[in-house]
Amino acid sequence: MAGSTIGTIFRITTWGESHGKAIGVVLDGCPAGLSLSEEDIQPFLNRRKPGQSIYSTPRKEDDAVEILSGTFEGRTTGTPISMIVYNKSQHSADYSEIASYYRPGHADYTFDAKYGFRDYRGGGRSSGRETTARVAAGAVAVKILNQLGITFTTFTRSIGDIEIDEARFDRKEIFHNKLYMPDAEAAAKAGEYIVEMTKAHDSVGGCVEARINGVPAGLGDTVFEKLVANLAKAVMSIGAVKCVEIGDGAKVSRMTGSEDNDGFMFDEQGTLLKTSNHAGGILGGLSDGSEIRLRASFKATPSILKNQRTVNKDNENIEISIKGRHDPVIVPRAVVVVETMAAITLLDALLLNMTATMQGIEQFYKK
Amino acid sequence: MAGSTIGTIFRITTWGESHGKAIGVVLDGCPAGLSLSEEDIQPFLNRRKPGQSIYSTPRKEDDAVEILSGTFEGRTTGTPISMIVYNKSQHSADYSEIASYYRPGHADYTFDAKYGFRDYRGGGRSSGRETTARVAAGAVAVKILNQLGITFTTFTRSIGDIEIDEARFDRKEIFHNKLYMPDAEAAAKAGEYIVEMTKAHDSVGGCVEARINGVPAGLGDTVFEKLVANLAKAVMSIGAVKCVEIGDGAKVSRMTGSEDNDGFMFDEQGTLLKTSNHAGGILGGLSDGSEIRLRASFKATPSILKNQRTVNKDNENIEISIKGRHDPVIVPRAVVVVETMAAITLLDALLLNMTATMQGIEQFYKK
Amino acid sequence: MAGSTIGTIFRITTWGESHGKAIGVVLDGCPAGLSLSEEDIQPFLNRRKPGQSIYSTPRKEDDAVEILSGTFEGRTTGTPISMIVYNKSQHSADYSEIASYYRPGHADYTFDAKYGFRDYRGGGRSSGRETTARVAAGAVAVKILNQLGITFTTFTRSIGDIEIDEARFDRKEIFHNKLYMPDAEAAAKAGEYIVEMTKAHDSVGGCVEARINGVPAGLGDTVFEKLVANLAKAVMSIGAVKCVEIGDGAKVSRMTGSEDNDGFMFDEQGTLLKTSNHAGGILGGLSDGSEIRLRASFKATPSILKNQRTVNKDNENIEISIKGRHDPVIVPRAVVVVETMAAITLLDALLLNMTATMQGIEQFYKK
Amino acid sequence: MAGSTIGTIFRITTWGESHGKAIGVVLDGCPAGLSLSEEDIQPFLNRRKPGQSIYSTPRKEDDAVEILSGTFEGRTTGTPISMIVYNKSQHSADYSEIASYYRPGHADYTFDAKYGFRDYRGGGRSSGRETTARVAAGAVAVKILNQLGITFTTFTRSIGDIEIDEARFDRKEIFHNKLYMPDAEAAAKAGEYIVEMTKAHDSVGGCVEARINGVPAGLGDTVFEKLVANLAKAVMSIGAVKCVEIGDGAKVSRMTGSEDNDGFMFDEQGTLLKTSNHAGGILGGLSDGSEIRLRASFKATPSILKNQRTVNKDNENIEISIKGRHDPVIVPRAVVVVETMAAITLLDALLLNMTATMQGIEQFYKK
């Protein structure tokens, strides 16, 4: 089945395996006239690339993006934007052992079950490396949304049990620590925890949060294409995510209506506001103009040195220890993936929304 | 935008408003040769219809489904199955006041923001009544999956703070209490809690869980069409859901790799098993053959008698109390909605999976 | 497979069989705020309904359309518009014989080959009656396009060898004869020819042409979603169509570049014009602002009294004569089907086009 | 809008401009386990590449395809197959003049109308060079269909007025002349005609025909996804096509029912046959098991040396003569494009067809 495409108007198709020649994406439906070059995209890729800190794998992937089509004289033309990132550090030799067994927590077994065999080198298509392509396309979505006044604050909310303290929330701090946490104190503690777990030959999970401001009210749809439904799909399509929450999330199941409902009010300037934002900026599937808040919970990196039970090709029950350079935690590198997947979803809803009313259509074509 | 359709091969399109003439669904792509009549569908609708207990609204909706097309001599023909449920208890008069203000927690404001006006009668299209149509189509999906050996156990996991106790889990109990809880003791406590909150003019939230057995390994896709991503979308598209979890869900962010990874093993008969099921039956986006587990957290019914702040059409800040017959909790009626949305998603993945390998295709066309 | 839906933004899903309870359509993605009632739609259905002349079947189908959802206080709400037409003249008895053999030129055999059995009553889903649903939805598309200044002139271009004479082309004449020809003389001759063929127990084919004016330049896309590609699909999806042509059509294969190319020029007011319109209003897949011209060739009605060879259920070679009330020619009734399918396609392209440029998007959201 | 993708299960997305860095395609949904390398694809690209004869442009494009992903150890893995062809002979200098005016018969004007500006180098995205990517992906479709016993005979049916004679039809001859005609005599005459027209600074059109054998009965759908509708879209999406015909095509409008209907019969072995094949292998939108026949009429190359009227950027009416190396006829190079677009469409229908019946599904999952 064809499962590498997402989006209706702003539509991306990714391709490539962890240890193939390259990873890439075709971004179709990007509006014409956007100023765009590799410099707009590279900073996003840098946020997810490995080897940046002791908390991420020391693999050195260059991850330099190249635009192959869709721009002319520095602007997008409205035609597909093809982007490629060559894989420079394939070490197939490292993965020969992996071919012989199923790694717990990975897609090895399920791939074989579906396709009859698999590209076992570094996880092949199911490697986190595939998100490189998403981030490249999502960087374009973020740029467009920024031009329309929509901004993202995306960060690591927690690592293991260590969660940020809202009272210490500092947006600037996010890019000042290697864990992308908006709370320096939490970041320090989380760093210690990661080091400790790494020494224990184990790995850790965590939570990413995105806060999106400046979104016009009314984006999304009422039934299956609810903005929140598409955000959930986009974020849950990131490997290792096991939970997606919007607004107060799981907590709402324990709240009463009077606690959870956000009232409406006009402020002194006559602007319509909500008295709170438990809903996380989406009501009935449509954006309500207030801050959109969503969270994704990531499981711990499944590749660990600690012994694990599994089976091999000779149908034997065995114990394995997975060597190689693996992130002890993928959460910090996933921050930009959550941000860009949210951006792709939001931009698509924003473009689709242009056809919502006869009045809007008539005004557009009167020009 | 067109947002009332979901599914690629097994595809449903719902239509209708809470207080319009009828609610309906067109189910396209249903395989031919399935024995099907209204009797297969009605029991599912009965599970979501109101007026069944003191915990749900006393509105009497008949909700009798009629099949208008797509069957011949008791079997599906492969052509679209159109189903309709007439709205028998429209009381537009009840809703005249609602037209004048925005109800907190509802889609009133966002509808106006998107479309310029709204059908305010009972929430119009954003009413929970729309799910009647989903359930009708989903009943067909459940029937097909059952014939293929796939079974669903869907239930209320918690109401407010009252959660079921796994030690008391009793599948048969689910249909023995009005809250669809598999734990009679929890159901009794939850019932008391609901009565208490109703007296306090408030409402409560809760959590629904689905456990799906017999799913072949390999369903889903590796990137955007991950089985878990589509389940997340399907479930998050149900009104009032603010969190979707698969397997251990949000908890994984606090677990280590060695705690979370499910090992593999052959049992004595040589069957491949997992040593645990933290993953909830999905690895790398593909089903792994073990039980699929997912949870959805529902917020409390937003319509409450308690006073709430809002604004009216005259641009005034006001306080309102919402009268009328509203469920103090929507969770029990939502159980079947979660089940059928999961079934629609799973069946679509199962059908798409038939084209995964050359070997499968060649065998199919050799026949 | 799900094959009853067409369109991306403005999307219709039809359902129903010739001799089932009803025929219907769900129109999703219709912009909000359009004034709409059954009176807008009925005239289009009347153009395709049978029993209007000696040239069409004397079956009396009432074909009164009812809107079941999607409008409120006379205007569209942006939610799905469900429309239904009940089948009033089902005579299943007439079709008992047909169940025993394959009618030449019909879908009887191919239906059995695909689905294993078929609803043989009046052709079931493959009956021309299915187009009732398309016309109902397309009437809405025509209304919207009209409001945007886009107009249709659709007519019977030829019946058998009798073709209209451009020199006598009279738009008003189209609705003055039963064959929808813009040339009274041709219509008279064609009428005689039909009578003659009917007496010979045979049937005749013909050609429908649509001319569409006021289309803004730039609609469509450059590659697979070329406006002409989607028009071709929409028109070729009408039963009995075996050829679709745009502009000069098949004739271009015999023309040279200097004959076929349309030059550009500014007229005295500085308006950009083409010096001719061989292209039929579409260049490189995008509308060029001039009149769009397309033609569809329909085969003769396959149900004829004349003896034909076929096979029956007992695996015998037999000869049959198809009785019953069949149109000797379907072309006149198909005129409105071609028009509405073209309208649905064009409107969808027009809506999609709103997101083509950053400038257009920025202006839209500045409002 | 996103218009560079086609197909539901077997889905291709093309990218690239005539004078950009490269042209490419991502093929998603290709079944796993297909033996595949560049050698399977290159022969198809060679059939469309220029510089092969005096009848095509002497531009030397290397057009060597490279597979970047989706295969492992010589077989497809089920993941996206990314293919790239670098553009080696970009001569942007040649196109500087073209930037200043609108070429008649090209997409220059309509591109500007839609996007506000254009990549004018060699037609950019609207260049015939885009079909390189389609052919690369389509070669994979042809390979799969061949393995299932489905074969293509695609050829030039006519150039200008010179049409092949069925009596001289020789399949082997197709690859023995530079025009891909199955009739050596017609090929010789057509060659002379092209030379003559080239001397007259003009260009010529023609017609391509595809005959497809071995297609199982029942592929396609009954309403919008009729096999013939999707073939029409696929073929009409090729630049310069102005007419698509199936079976007897336009001629059916002049035939009677008794002439056009194909009877059914059992032969002596009890095989079901049709007594003729006016329908071209498709009945009611579904394949009927007999030979599928379709034709596409191509207009003459619009770039000609002969003077033409147009306008320039200074809003002046001017006359131009288009220099450069242009094919005097594109038909021979388009033969393989028609074949591969038909193959992509057919394979997608074949894959979708696997889910048509409960019986087929149950057998598949019993394995």
Alpha carbon D332 to chain centroid, angstroms: 11
- For an interface test with A, the pick among C77, C148, C354 (most A C-beta atoms closer than 10 Å) comes out as C354
User: What pLDDT sits at residue A57?
Assistant: 66
Query: Which of A61-65, A320-324, B203-207, D274-278 is predicted with the least confidence, judged by mean pLDDT?
Result: A61-65
Asked if B113 and A230 come within 8 Å (Cβ–Cβ), the reply is no
Q: How confident is the model at residue A91 (pLDDT cuts 50, 70, 90)?
A: low
User: What pLDDT sits at residue B88?
Assistant: 82
Do C287 and C281 meet the contact criterion of CB atoms below 8 Å apart? yes
Using DSSP bridges, classify how beta strands B206-213 and B151-159 pair: parallel, antiparallel or unpaired: antiparallel
| Cα D231 to Cα C241: distance, rounded to the nearest angstrom | 13
User: What pLDDT sits at residue B65?
Assistant: 97
Asked if D1 and C248 come within 8 Å (Cβ–Cβ), the reply is no
Q: Does position D92 have pLDDT exceeding 90, yes or no? A: no
List CB contacts (< 8 A) between B2 and chain C. 7-11, 28-29
| Cα A9 to Cα A28: distance, rounded to the nearest angstrom | 8
b/e burial code for range C275-286 (CB count within 10 A of at least 16 → b): ebbbbbbbbbbb
- For an interface test with B, the pick among C71, C98, C119 (most B C-beta atoms closer than 10 Å) comes out as C119
D127, β-bridge pairs: none
List CB contacts (< 8 A) between C76 and chain A. 358
Q: How confident is the model at residue B89 (pLDDT cuts 50, 70, 90)?
A: low
List CB contacts (< 8 A) between A125 and chain D. 77, 79-80
User: CB under 8 Å to D12, separation ≥6 — which residues?
Assistant: D5, D6, D25, D26, D27, D28, D133, D134, D137, D138, D344
The share of chain B scoring above pLDDT 90, in percent, equals 89
Give the gap in angstroms from C-alpha B34 to the nearest C-alpha of chain A. Answer: 24
| Cα C119 to Cα B33: distance, rounded to the nearest angstrom | 12
Tell me the one-letter amino acid at B165: D
Give the gap in angstroms from C-alpha D4 to the nearest C-alpha of chain A. Answer: 7
| Cα A130 to Cα A63: distance, rounded to the nearest angstrom | 12
Those chains having 3 or more beta-carbon pairs within 8 angstroms of chain A are B, C, D
Q: How confident is the model at residue B190 (pLDDT cuts 50, 70, 90)?
A: very high
Q: Does position D8 have pLDDT exceeding 90, yes or no? A: yes
| Cα D348 to Cα D365: distance, rounded to the nearest angstrom | 21
**pLDDT, mean of residues B261-284:** 96
Query: Which of C90-99, C107-116, D44-53, D129-138 is predicted with the least confidence, judged by mean pLDDT?
Result: C90-99
Those chains having 3 or more beta-carbon pairs within 8 angstroms of chain C are A, B, D
- What pLDDT, in 10s, does the model give residues B160-184? 999 999 999 999 999 999 999 999 9
What does the DSSP 8-state code read for residue A180? -
**pLDDT, mean of residues D78-101:** 84
Q: Does position A61 have pLDDT exceeding 60, yes or no? A: no
Give the gap in angstroms from C-alpha C239 to the nearest C-alpha of chain B. Answer: 16
List CB contacts (< 8 A) between C223 and chain D. 3-4, 14, 125, 130, 237
**pLDDT, mean of residues B225-241:** 98
- Environment class of B119 (CB within 10 Å of its CB; exposed 0-12, middle 13-18, buried 19+): buried
**pLDDT, mean of residues A222-233:** 98
Residue with structure tokens 């013909």? C206
- What pLDDT, in 10s, does the model give residues D165-201? 999 999 999 999 999 999 999 999 999 999 999 999 9
- Among A3, C28, A220, A234, which Cα is nearest to B5's? C28
| Cα A287 to Cα D198: distance, rounded to the nearest angstrom | 61
Q: Scanning every residue of chain A, which has its alpha carbon at the shortest distance from the alpha carbon of B243?
A: A245
User: What pLDDT sits at residue C207?
Assistant: 98
Using DSSP bridges, classify how beta strands A65-67 and A22-28 pair: parallel, antiparallel or unpaired: unpaired
Asked if D22 and A125 come within 8 Å (Cβ–Cβ), the reply is no
User: What pLDDT sits at residue D325?
Assistant: 74
User: What pLDDT sits at residue D54?
Assistant: 66
Q: Scanning every residue of chain B, which has its alpha carbon at the shortest distance from the alpha carbon of C10?
A: B2
* H-type alpha helices, chain D: 38-48, 108-115, 131-147, 184-199, 227-236, 257-260, 331-352, 358-366
User: What pLDDT sits at residue A59?
Assistant: 59
- What pLDDT, in 10s, does the model give residues D287-308? 999 999 999 999 999 999 999 9
List CB contacts (< 8 A) between B117 and chain C. 32-33, 72, 75, 77
The share of chain D scoring above pLDDT 90, in percent, equals 89
- Among A17, A187, A180, which Cα is nearest to A95's? A17
Q: Does position A58 have pLDDT exceeding 70, yes or no? A: no
User: What pLDDT sits at residue D326?
Assistant: 82
Asked if C364 and A362 come within 8 Å (Cβ–Cβ), the reply is no
| Cα B59 to Cα B81: distance, rounded to the nearest angstrom | 28
User: What pLDDT sits at residue A143?
Assistant: 98
Q: How confident is the model at residue A110 (pLDDT cuts 50, 70, 90)?
A: very high
- Environment class of C304 (CB within 10 Å of its CB; exposed 0-12, middle 13-18, buried 19+): buried
**pTM beyond 0.80, yes or no:** yes
**Three-class secondary structure of residue C74 per DSSP:** coil
Kindly report the average pLDDT of chain A as a whole number.
94
User: What pLDDT sits at residue C254?
Assistant: 98
Fold (CATH) for C5-365? Chorismate synthase, AroC fold (3.60.150)
**Interface predicted TM-score (ipTM):** 0.97
- Among C142, C207, C146, C149, which Cα is nearest to C180's? C207
Give the gap in angstroms from C-alpha A95 to the nearest C-alpha of chain B. Answer: 18
CA dist B177 to A317, B155, B171, Å?
44, 11, 11
Residues of chain C with pLDDT below 70 are 1, 51-54, 56-61, 89-94, 367
Residue with structure tokens 């593999």? B264
User: What pLDDT sits at residue D90?
Assistant: 58
- What pLDDT, in 10s, does the model give residues C11-70? 999 999 999 999 999 999 999 999 999 999 999 999 988 766 667 666 555 789 999 999
User: What pLDDT sits at residue C2?
Assistant: 86
Give the gap in angstroms from C-alpha D300 to the nearest C-alpha of chain C. Answer: 5
Kindly report the average pLDDT of chain D as a whole number.
94
Give the gap in angstroms from C-alpha A130 to the nearest C-alpha of chain B. Answer: 8
